[in-house]
Amino acid sequence: MKKRTIIRLSIISIFISLIYTFVVYFGIDRYIKLQLIDGNSLIKNYSKLEETGCDRVVISFTTTPERLSKIKPMILSLLDQTLKVDEIALSIPYGKYEIPEYLKDVVTIYYYSIDYGTAGNLVPCVLREREGDTKIILVADNVIYGKDFIERIIEESENSPRKCVSINDLSCKNGILITPDFFDQSFSSNNDCKNCIQWLRTKLTTGIINVKYSENYKY
């Protein structure tokens, strides 16, 4: 083989490797995979996943009418996990929504009358869940979550049961795990806060542990 041909093949190989690294680093590979996977198969297989081993685990998120048609990649990433949860809860203000058919088979939809803004995934769920030790995982509607995201955040919670677990930083887009007993009775006395993180910072009665995890990607 000529030297020039070898050089060309080497350059092509390096170029392909760089593209692959870029695709993996920004989560494009998982995004593409979730687009190609049959959503119906993920829904059917979800019940066969291993349970968390906790009494109750709820994933909670909120969205807007305009974004309902765009959240499917996020939903599929929550179904394509190593562990299954007891409920995926969508909390949204009362209004006119065109709920996609697939979503009705996946999530439980709760409507609320007070405008909580970005705290809509937090406040209604905490007020709704009666058991103090229920693990509530707060997520965002525009993130592809890593395949072992649920397993990892629950593991960290089990290791630090009296702390709020935050992935990377205190942000719902990365994932936050709380339980209702992390808040005192004043939690429900002020309903004018519309920011999820502000609620957490002012109402939490426990510490926060930040966990590094690099498999979640905003899309």
Express each pLDDT in 206-218 by its tens digit. 999 999 998 898 8
User: Which of 3-7, 74-78, 98-102 has the highest average model confidence (pLDDT)?
Assistant: 74-78
Across the range 85-94, mean pLDDT stands at 94
pLDDT of residue 118: 83
Query: Residue 190 above 70 pLDDT?
Result: no
Across the range 38-62, mean pLDDT stands at 92
Fold exhibited by the domain 39-218: Spore Coat Polysaccharide Biosynthesis Protein SpsA; Chain A (3.90.550)
Categorize the per-residue pLDDT at 20 as very low, low, confident or very high, splitting at 50, 70 and 90: very low
195 exposed, middle or buried (CB, 10 Å; 0-12, 13-18, 19+)? middle
Q: Distance between CA atoms of 18 and 40, rounded to whole angstroms?
A: 34
pLDDT tens across 90-119, in order? 999 888 888 999 998 899 999 988 888 888
pLDDT tens across 122-168, in order? 989 998 998 889 999 999 999 999 999 999 999 999 999 999 999 99
Residue 135 and residue 54 in contact, taking contact as beta carbons nearer than 8 Å: yes
Choose between 197 and 187: higher pLDDT: 197
Choose between 103 and 12: higher pLDDT: 103
Query: Residue 22 above 50 pLDDT?
Result: no
Choose between 87 and 41: higher pLDDT: 87
Average pLDDT, the chain: 85
pLDDT of residue 187: 66
pTM: 0.86
Share of the chain above pLDDT 90, in %: 48
Q: Which two tokens stand for residue 104?
A: 């009705």
Query: Residue 5 above 70 pLDDT?
Result: no
Q: Distance between CA atoms of 80 and 151, rounded to whole angstroms?
A: 12
Question: In the β-sheet with 163-167, what is the strand arrangement from edge to edge?
Answer: 108-112, 87-93, 57-61, 135-138, 176-178, 163-167, 207-211
Residue 82 and residue 150 in contact, taking contact as beta carbons nearer than 8 Å: yes
